[in-house]
Amino acid sequence: MQPMINSFSQGATRPRRVVDYVLDQLAAWGVRRVYGVAGDSILPLISAMAEREAPVFVPTRHEEAAAFMAKAEAVLTGNVGVCIATSGPGVAHLVNGLADAQTDSAAVLAITGQQESFYTGSRHRQVIDQQQLLAAVTEFTAELGHPSGIGFLLGRALRTATGKSKVAHISIPKDFWNEPLPDLPLRSFEPFLKTPHRSAPHVLDEAAGLLYQAQRPLILAGIGARGAIGHVLQLAEALRAPVIHTLAASGQFPRDHHLVMGSVGEGGTQYALELIAASDCILRLGTTWWPHRYVPDAPVTIDINLRPEHVGMGSPARFGVVGPLEEILPQLVPKAPSWSRPEWEARVAEAKLQYEESLAQEIQAARQATFPTVHPALIIDALNRHIPADAIISLDVGDHVLWFNRYFRGTGRQDILISGYWRSMGCGLPFALASSLVQPHRASVAIVGDGGLSMSLAELLTAVRHRLPVVIVVFNNRSLAMEEHEMEMLGLRVHGVGLNNPDFARFAGLCGARGYRVQRAKELDHALEQAFQEDGGPALIDVVTSPAPLPMPEPPEWAKVPALNRQGRD
């Protein structure tokens, strides 16, 4: 990371203030952007950024979006993402986005204003105990008690966010911002905070020993393997092991590879589940996820993960190896038992063939369906043809994610941003906006449902304001479809999940973006081609989507027991 120093002290005639120190310190740690909404108690901070090259202020329409954007920046860069908010309602609006960053282990720093220090504990407008409010969604939260303490407080917050990949928060009373400071030194960026744990060499030898006992090995890979995909595939080829990936890693694995079997879970395939159930040794690489609803705990699981606390998370591990996968896998590949496993190889090859044929037949059936609107499988099929090979794809939460999980074909060079453990609607568009700012040389695509988009629709104005060339694809099925389907499955009366949507394409045009309305499948390719080829800010494709049922893998009998009776499985 190359810090961008733009210190106020360079050529300054007035003494350095708290606000100057905060921005100088952020710049020294490589912070380039600060996301947020203007408000009374942070106005000096925003004003000071107008005089600097870095960090720059990126105004959003809602603080929740600012927190989502800070998370996306942290995920894509590996640096700290920063968001700001004013006191009271402003800080409250951050909670959802910060919870998403905290649960997905993203390094985010939230800086909020507070009313004047002499109002602490009083019943004054917009005064609330911010530390109590944010304690559940942060790793560290504290309020500045005196201007001279800013160095200690900000340093601890940055170190916590960086070293633990979690959320840190500080609040600063607004009467402190312009207070002069003594000659307070900046804290240089500390790269050792990111030094990973590493298992001893003999641990890797023992893991290889377990692999030698395996007759039917299988690899389950997550986003933690993104820096070592080539080695994952080398290991798979040596072991003759099928590779099943998580949703977040779906862009990192080329779907046309003969051992890549797609994903499992909702939207996954029965073939992948059957392979997991038949395997006698599962190697989990860079993931904490396990499809409890569909398969029990594996008899032998070897976990390799960057963080020791992530080993065995989601499902108990028989054996664990800790360290960066890009270091461990090149050592493991030569140690792996590379011998023929004819029966397993034949079973995997047959499953791959059936998997591809099944999906092709489903796509063909969708083309022949008599829906008056667009079948959701055809939207993903069209996106496979048009999304650039190195795009960043931001998925909102909703029914469309299941269709994406089933039919998306990754190229091996795409990044997928999701709300992993928190699973919050409204995240897709903010993720995409930050992606376009952070890596402007790559296409940024938001795939959203109508419910999720409605929650963050105002951020379309943010995209227009910053001329961000994001492409937004809306599954407009006029329903909170996941909730509707769950109500039907549980035998409940379907109620309260219908949506009265506007014409999103026309709305986009009113905001200053390009809008395309797609009502027939034959219009998809043209709309996507126009959206990706034309220059000039954001484009939104409003696809009127049919309420088709998603093909689902069949859970085993034990998974059909009510959740309260499935101890430890969900």
3-state SS of 353-388 is: HHHHHHHHHHHHHHHHCCCCCECHHHHHHHHHHHCC
Chain centre distance of CA 204? 30
Q: What is the topology classification, in CATH, of domain 370-544?
A: Rossmann fold (3.40.50)
Which whole number is the average pLDDT over 360-389? 95
Q: Which of 265, 563, 545 is nearest to 382 (CA)?
A: 545
> In angstroms, what CA-CA distances link 84 with 30, 46, 57, 109, 171?
17, 9, 10, 8, 10
Average pLDDT of the residues in 399-403: 95
pLDDT band at 10 (very low <50, low <70, confident <90, very high): very low
Range of weakest confidence among 249-253, 281-285, 295-299: 295-299
pLDDT at 563: 39
∠ Cα 45 51 56 (to 5°): 65
DSSP state of 436: H
pLDDT value for 269: 83
Q: What percent of the chain has pLDDT over 90?
A: 82
Rounded to a whole number of angstroms, the distance between the first and last alpha carbons of the chain is: 39
Strand partners, 516: 541
- Contact criterion met (CB below 8 Å) for 4 and 27: yes
Q: Could you give the 3-state DSSP secondary structure of residue 327?
A: helix
290 band by pLDDT with thresholds 50, 70 and 90: confident
Please give the CATH number for the structural domain made up of 18-194: 3.40.50.970
- Position 5 scores a pLDDT of 46
Pairwise pLDDT comparison (8 vs 435), residue with the higher score: 435
Residue 123 has pLDDT above 50, yes or no: yes
pLDDT tens digit sequence for 189-206: 999 999 999 999 999 999
Q: What is the mean pLDDT of residues 563-568?
A: 35
Classify domain 201-353 by CATH number: 3.40.50.1220
**pLDDT score for 103:** 96
Please name the helix (run of DSSP H) or strand (run of DSSP E) that holds residue 301, with its range, or none: strand 301-305
- Note the pLDDT of residue 205: 95
- Ranked by mean pLDDT, which of 13-22, 117-126, 228-237 comes out on top? 228-237
Residue 412 CB burial class (10 angstroms; 0-12, 13-18, ≥19): middle
DSSP state of 294: T
Q: How far apart are CA 431 and CA 250, in angstroms?
A: 17
- 161: which 2 tokens? 């966010």
Q: How far is CA 490 from the centre of its chain?
A: 30
Residues 423, 252, 474, CA angle at the centre, nearest 5°?
50
Q: What is the mean pLDDT of residues 346-356?
A: 96
User: Cα–Cα distance between 417 and 396 in angstroms, integer?
Assistant: 9
* Residue ranges covered by each domain of the chain: 18-194, 201-353, 370-544
Reported pTM: 0.93
ω into 55 cis (within 30 of 0) = yes
pLDDT at 170 over 50: yes
Q: Give yes or no on whether 18-194 and 201-353 have one common fold.
A: yes
Q: Note the pLDDT of residue 172.
A: 98
When pLDDT is averaged across residues 64-69 and rounded to a whole number, the result is: 98
On the 0-12 / 13-18 / 19+ scale of CB atoms within 10 A, 395 is: buried
Per-residue model confidence (pLDDT) at position 297: 74
Average pLDDT over residues 364-389: 95
In angstroms, the Cα distances linking 256 to 233, 253, 386, 388, 410 are 12, 9, 17, 16, 9
Q: What is the pLDDT of residue 112?
A: 98
Band the pLDDT of 557: cuts 50, 70, 90.
low
Determine the Cα angle at 413 with ends 411 and 414, to 5°: 85
The rounded distance, in Å, linking the Cα atoms of 133 and 148 is: 25
Does the structure show a pLDDT above 80 at 226? yes
Would the pLDDT of 566 be above 70?
Answer: no
Question: Is residue 346 predicted with pLDDT exceeding 50?
Answer: yes
How far apart are alpha carbons 359 and 367 in whole angstroms?
12
Distance CA 450, CA 458 (A): 13
b or e along 66-81 (b: 16 or more beta carbons within 10 Å of the residue's beta carbon)? Answer: bbbbbbbbbbbbebbb
Cα(405)–Cα(269) distance, integer angstroms:
10
Please choose, from the candidates 220, 482, 516, the residue with its C-alpha nearest in 3D space to the C-alpha of residue 379: 516
What is the number of other CB atoms lying within 10 angstroms of the CB of residue 100?
28
Determine the pLDDT at residue 556.
58
Across 551-568, average pLDDT = 50
Give the rounded distance of the alpha carbon of 566 from its chain centre. Answer: 29
- As given in the structure block, the two tokens for residue 108 are 């985010």
pLDDT digits (tens, 9 = 90+) for 317-342: 889 999 999 999 999 999 999 899 99
pLDDT at site 567: 32
Backbone phi and psi for residue 475, each to the nearest 5 degrees, phi listed first: -85, 100
Q: What is the pLDDT of residue 555?
A: 63
Q: Cα–Cα distance between 107 and 57 in angstroms, integer?
A: 19
Q: Facing residues of 479 across strands?
A: 498
Please write the tens of the pLDDT for every residue from 230-277.
999 999 999 999 999 999 999 999 999 999 999 887 888 888 889 998
C-alpha distances (whole Å) from 148 to each of 8, 117, 177 are 17, 14, 11
